[in-house]
Amino acid sequence: MATFTHDFQTGSFTGKTSFPTGLFIDGEFREGSEKTTIDIVNPTTGRILTTIPEATKADLDIAVKAAQKAFDTTWGLNVGGAQRGELLNKLARLMEEHQDELSAIEAVDNGKTFSWAKNVDVAFATATIKYYAGWADKISGQTLETDEKKLIYTRHEPIGVVGQIIPWNFPLLMFSWKVGPALATGNTIVLKPSEFTPLTALRMCSLIKEAGFPPGVVNVLTGYGHTVGQAIAEHQDIQKVAFTGSTLVGRKVMAAAAASNLKNVTLELGGKSPNIVFDDADLDQAVSWAAHGIFWNHGQACCAGSRVYVQAGIYDEFLRRFTEQTKKIKVGDPFAPGVDQGPQVSQQQYDRIMGYIESGKKDGATVHTGGNRHGTEGFFIEPTIFTDTTENMQIVKEEIFGPVGVIIKFTDEADVLRQANDTVFGLAAAVFSQDINRALQTAHKLQAGTAWVNCVNQLHANVPFGGYKQSGIGRELGEYALHNYTNVKAVHVNLGHRM
C-alpha cells in the first residue's frame, strides 16, 4: 500500500510525516479496483508531491456496503450517544496531539500558510469535532399531548449511509464540518475529498482508526468529481448527500440525487459577498477587516467579501489606506515566517483567476494594484484590487475564488442595498458603521445567510452557516447542522382505547 512520506525542514515546522494513502474502506487502506492513480501537485513548486489511488464506482459500491453493514451492526441505533461522543472526543484529542503535523500537511497540500493552517484550520476543525461530541447524547425528540388515551413522542433517528463531498479550499475544516454532525447523530459515512487536496483527509483516517471507531463507520474515497462524486449523488443505497463546492456542481448533485432515490440533499455553495462601508465607519477597523475579507485563504473562500462598497464621503481615503494595507501583504512560501499569502491551489485555479483579471481589464476596469503573477514557479498571484467597475462586469457578478476584489463607490443606503442584493448568491455580507441602528437595519435587509457587523469572515462551531438563493440549501455548523442528519419519526401509543 502506498505511503506519503515527507520531511518538513522549514522556519515554521521541522518534522516528518508518514502515513498510508490508499482508499479507506471498512477500516483498512487499499488500492483502487482499477489500480489507477492521481498525481498530487505541490502548489508552491508546481511539481508532483505524491500519487494517490483513484477510486471508481466499483470502489464506491464496496464502501457503501461496508458503511451499511457498520450502520446495521456496530453503529447507528446499536451505539448510544454517550459512546459516540466519547469516540469523537478521542478523535479531537488525537488531532490536538498531531496539530503541527496536520497543519504542515495542509500547508504543503493546499498552499495555505502553516500559521493559518495551525491557528485557524486545525484549531477550528478540532473545536468542531469537540462541539459535536458534546451533542452526541443530546439528540432527542418531543412528547406530544393529544388526549389521555394516547402517548405520542418523536424520535430523531440516523438516516443511514450518507455521502459527503468536500472542496479543496479548507480540506481539514470541511472534513470536520461534515463528519462531526453525521457521526454525532449515528450515521455512517462515505466521503470524497477533493482530488487536489486529499492528504489531510487520508491522515484523519488513521486517527479515526486509532480513536476506535468501528470499521466501516467512516470510509474515504479519493477520486474525481465526475466519477466518484457523481456516483455518490446517484447511488441508490446512499440516503443523504452533503456537498460543498460551486453552484454549478451543486446543481448537478441535486439533479442526480432527485433522479436516483430522491435522497436528502444539503448544499453549501458559492458566494459573491458584499462588504458595505458607511461614511461613519471606524476607517482603520474597516480597512483591516476588508483586507481580511478579500484575501483570507488567498481569496479561496466562498464567503470572501470580494465586493467592497464604500460610501462616497470616505471613498478616496478608504482606497488610499486599503491600497497601503494590500501592498503590505507578503506573498511567498507558506512555511516561511511572516508570509501572509501562499500559492493558489492548482494550475487550473491559477489560470481561472488570471482569466478573470484579464476579463476585468478587457471590460475597462482599472487594476488599481496587483494583477500579475508573483514569482517564477508555483501558482502565486499578487493581491489584486479593481476600481472603476460597472455592475455588469464579470469581476463584479461572478465568483472569482482568488485574491481579487473590487472597490465600488455608493451614495446612500438605498443605492448600496440595491447593488449588494443584485446577485444570484446570498452566502454572506458585512456592514461597517459606528451607528449600530444603521448597521443592524442594513444587515437585516441584506439577502444573505450570514451578516457580519464591523467584522468579516468570523465562523464558530456553534453558529449556523449557509446561504440564501443559489448559495445553497441547509446549514452547516451549530445545532442546525444536526437536523440535516436525522429522520424524525412520530410514535403513537394506544393506552387501552378500543375502537
Catalytic residues: 268
The gap from C-alpha 347 to its chain's centroid, in whole angstroms, comes to: 20
Q: Residue 190's closest CA among 33, 102, 82, 70?
A: 70
Give the 3-state secondary structure of residue 248.
helix
Residues 249, 390: Cα–Cα separation, whole Å:
28
Give the 3-state secondary structure of residue 441.
helix
Q: Residue 83's closest CA among 179, 205, 164, 183?
A: 183
In sign, the C-alpha dihedral spanning 242, 247, 251, 252 is negative
363 near 422, Cβ under 8 Å?
no
77 near 487, Cβ under 8 Å?
no
Cα dihedral: 286, 288, 291, 293 (round 10): -70
Q: Residue 281's closest CA among 273, 272, 289, 293?
A: 289
CB atoms within 10 A of CB 34: 12
22 near 109, Cβ under 8 Å?
no
Mark out the alpha helices in 246-374 (DSSP H runs). 247-259, 283-295, 315-327, 347-362
What DSSP designation does 341 have? B
DSSP string of 364-422, one letter each residue: T-EEEE--SB-SSSSS-B--EEEES--TTSHHHHS---SSEEEEEEE-SHHHHHHHHH-
Residues 476, 267: Cα–Cα separation, whole Å:
9
Burial-class residue 209 by CB neighbours within 10 Å (0-12, 13-18, 19+). middle
